[in-house]
């Protein structure tokens, strides 16, 4: 793989509500239009935010002024903001969008409660565009099934399954003041009617011992019929990140395998299936200075060849890893990241599109893109 083109979707706008741009999502339509969603905020940890969307019809040369697909709403009488939005191509000009709502009832409380490890409430809605992301249907809530009473954090856009079902992935957190131990689950839910109804969640990973958190999962539907899940993997007892782990489903998401160690350190984007036996993993490697990289697998995602490694982006900033003593330090470290969270989508013909956030520090980050071929 090689980087054949690159550019900026949106640059940080200092001293505005778009100084911190992060949490990118990308999809490519049959028309050639590229859609990129992102979170805009005055600072990375600030509670004010806007989930905005930008379009390009000329392969990234120019981008529309970012705009909200829909304004912020109240939820059950509580005020809130859209924390992030993720988008998926459904064929033709149809697009599925998921927005994550964040409770802003107490804007002065941090999102994460260091005393309990709980977070503020999060909810999700799904909507459809028939015109390439310019207008949107009325939103439908995505219920959480047996986890409906706790915050669920979005981990990916709608995934279009080979049989036409939609899959939605998220992870189970704790309510803000819940002092009980955090039993983390990564889950996926399915809809057969384009988001009108959803199945009960299927757990892709949980550790009964509450030691290993396979979080920030990224789910892909592969051409061989499997679902492949990549995880950013944290050992909370040792307070260290492990190599990325992976799991698979061979029955359409009814069950998922035990996880395996991929041998690659970092935080993943969804694996891209090039359709020729190669799977491409884009990820951020933070073992030294933060770098966006890609590797290729030829064994179905069991491993990713180190000799295939491609550096997509190296900001040149110093290490952003701190010595951690527990979960609170892990959250503090995440808040200081200024390079990361790549997303990727196929373009056809052996090409793919990658977006990521990058900047000199966490409160001054751009959303950039790179086009890969090979």
DSSP characters over 101-150 = EEE-SSTTS-SB-TTT--B--EEEEEEEESSTTSS-PPPEE---GGGTTS
Tell me what percent of the residues of the chain surpass a pLDDT of 70: 100
pLDDT digits (tens, 9 = 90+) for 111-159: 999 999 999 999 999 999 999 999 999 999 999 999 999 999 999 999 9
| 322 alpha carbon, distance to own chain's centre | 23
Q: What is the mean pLDDT of the chain?
A: 97
Which tokens go with 171?
């992870």
Task: Parse the chain into domains and list their residue ranges.
Answer: 2-373
* pTM (predicted TM-score): 0.96
Q: Reply yes or no on whether the pLDDT at 43 is more than 90.
A: yes
User: CATH classification of 2-373 is 2.120.10.10, yes or no?
Assistant: yes
Cβ atoms of 203 and 185 within 8 Å: the answer is yes
Nearest Cα to Cα of residue 368 among 8, 5, 6? 8
| pLDDT score of 101 | 97
Cβ atoms of 126 and 140 within 8 Å: the answer is yes
Task: Supply φ then ψ for residue 89, to 5 degrees.
Answer: -75, 135
Tokens 């000009």 — which residue?
93
| 258 alpha carbon, distance to own chain's centre | 22
SS3 content of the chain, % helix, strand, coil (to 5): 5, 50, 45
Q: Give, rounded to a whole angstrom, the gap between the first and last alpha carbons of the chain.
A: 4
Instruction: Provide the 10 A C-beta neighbour count for residue 77.
Output: 6
In this prediction, residues 43-47 reach a mean pLDDT of 94
Determine the 3-state secondary structure of 333 from DSSP: helix
In this prediction, residues 236-263 reach a mean pLDDT of 97
What are the DSSP calls for 51-110, one per residue? EEEEEESSTTSS-PPPB-SS----BTTB-EEEEEEEEEEEETTEEEEEEEEEE-SSTTS-
Task: Supply φ then ψ for residue 146, to 5 degrees.
Answer: -70, -10
pLDDT digits (tens, 9 = 90+) for 84-112: 999 999 999 999 999 999 999 999 999 99
Tokens 């035990």 — which residue?
258
Task: Supply φ then ψ for residue 90, to 5 degrees.
Answer: -110, 0
Cα separation, 159 vs 111, in Å, equals: 27
| pLDDT score of 374 | 87
Cα separation, 266 vs 160, in Å, equals: 26
Cα separation, 167 vs 142, in Å, equals: 11
Nearest Cα to Cα of residue 317 among 264, 371, 255, 365? 365
In this prediction, residues 320-346 reach a mean pLDDT of 95
């Amino acid at each position: 793989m090689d980087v054949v083109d690159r550019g900026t979707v949106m640059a940080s706008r200092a001293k505005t509500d778009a100084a911190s741009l992060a949490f990118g999502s990308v999809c490519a339509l049959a028309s050639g239009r590229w859609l990129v969603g992102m979170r805009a905020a005055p600072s990375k940890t600030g509670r004010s935010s806007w989930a905005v969307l930008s379009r390009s019809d000329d392969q990234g040369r120019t981008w529309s002024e970012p705009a909200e697909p829909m304004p912020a709403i109240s939820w059950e009488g509580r005020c809130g903001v859209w924390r992030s939005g993720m988008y998926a191509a459904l064929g033709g000009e149809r697009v599925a969008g998921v927005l994550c709502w964040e409770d802003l009832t107490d804007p002065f409380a941090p999102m994460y409660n260091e005393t309990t490890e709980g977070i503020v409430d999060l909810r999700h809605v799904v909507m459809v565009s028939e015109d390439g992301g310019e207008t949107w249907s009325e939103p439908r809530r995505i219920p959480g099934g047996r986890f409906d009473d706790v915050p669920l954090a979005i981990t990916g856009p709608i995934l279009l399954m080979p049989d036409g079902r939609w899959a939605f992935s998220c992870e189970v957190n704790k309510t803000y003041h819940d002092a009980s131990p955090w039993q983390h689950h990564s889950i996926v839910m399915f809809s057969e009617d384009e988001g009108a109804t959803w199945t009960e969640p299927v757990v892709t990973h949980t550790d009964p011992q509450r030691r290993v958190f396979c979080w920030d999962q990224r789910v892909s539907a592969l051409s061989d019929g499997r679902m492949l899940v990549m995880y950013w993997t944290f050992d909370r007892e040792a307070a260290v990140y492990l190599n990325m782990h992976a799991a698979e489903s061979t029955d359409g998401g009814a069950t998922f395998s035990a996880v395996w160690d991929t041998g690659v350190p970092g935080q993943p984007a969804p694996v891209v299936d090039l359709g020729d036996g190669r799977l491409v993993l884009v990820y951020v490697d933070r073992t030294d200075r933060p770098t966006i990289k890609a590797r290729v697998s030829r064994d179905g995602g069991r491993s990713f060849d180190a000799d295939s490694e491609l550096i997509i982006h190296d900001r040149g900033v110093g290490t952003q890893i701190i010595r951690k003593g527990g979960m609170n330090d892990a959250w503090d470290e995440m808040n200081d990241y200024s390079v990361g969270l790549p997303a990727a989508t196929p373009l056809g013909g052996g090409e793919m599109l990658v977006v990521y956030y990058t900047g000199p520090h966490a409160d001054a980050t751009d959303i950039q893109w790179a086009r890969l071929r090979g």
